[in-house]
Amino acid sequence: MSKGTLLLVPNTLDLGADEVDLREILPDAVMRRAAALQHWAAEDARSTRAFLKRVGAIFPLALPLQSITITELPRPRKGSHEPVPPAAWRALLQPALDGQDLGLLSEAGLPAVADPGAALVQAAHAAGVPVLPLPGASSLLLALAASGLNGQSFAFVGYLPQEASARNAKLKELEALSRRQGQTQLIIETPYRNAALLAAMLGGLHTETRVSISCGLTLVGGWSRTETVAAWRLRPPQMPDRWPAVFALLAG
């Protein structure tokens, strides 16, 4: 029996905000592929059902929504540092091993990019299951493109420490690395802590370091702005506490 394909289905970037028109974000071909799938692996089953309901309003779903199988990605036990065993990831692939296509959906953007779904993709390669990424928005790449910073050399560093002194030390470390290598550093934060991260960047980085913020990408009213730290201090923005943002820095 031939194996099915693991399809990496892009999501919108409007989680927690006013919904955008799907056709403004996703190609029709992607939505048709999503509508045809009967099996899904996802970070969150509830938000996946909401996504499929939106898709189904444009292209009819292959099955009634309640009949579509949605299995959530396994997580380490609370308080445990042990990784999820490989067998758990392989079990998620059973529909594809049985010859049926399987969709992978992230909470936002592209699956497996800054996303735990990467472990499922790794398991698919190990099991000989074909992997097919479908085109869609990645907040990291959109922010990098809009920043005007170095797009030839960049690194995504994820979340910084929450404790103030540790966060400031990490920012100094990233600034020094950026200066040595000419490398853009991309950072994200939980939306309600966006303002705290910006304050730390403006308070701790060199005045000539360039900082870029892209906030609410693909949303109505979303914006991107790049300035030196000195210029940001003169005209700091009001950071929304519900919209996701991507922060980038490049030291001179």
Which pTM does this prediction carry?
0.90
Domain termination residue (choose one: 83, 105, 133): 133
**80: pLDDT strictly greater than 80:** no
> Mean pLDDT of all residues in the chain?
94
- Of 33-37, 64-68, 125-129, 236-240, where does mean pLDDT reach its minimum? 236-240
Same-domain status, 42 and 120: yes
**229: pLDDT strictly greater than 90:** yes
Q: In which region does residue 16 sit, left (phi positive, over 0), alpha (psi from -120 to 50) or beta (all else)?
A: left
**What total number of domains does the chain contain?**
2
Cα distance between residue 194 and residue 215, in whole Å: 10
Same-domain status, 177 and 125: no
Sign of the torsion angle spanned by Cα atoms 60, 64, 66, 70: negative
Same-domain status, 144 and 175: yes
Structural domain span for residue 152: 139-250
Same-domain status, 69 and 45: yes
Cα distance between residue 132 and residue 2, in whole Å: 16
Same-domain status, 149 and 128: no
Sign of the torsion angle spanned by Cα atoms 110, 114, 115, 117: positive
φ/ψ of residue 39, rounded to 5: -135, 135
Same-domain status, 97 and 154: no
Same-domain status, 201 and 120: no
Cα distance between residue 183 and residue 152, in whole Å: 8
Q: What angle do CA 97, 100, 106 make, to 5 degrees?
A: 90
Q: What is the pLDDT of residue 20?
A: 86
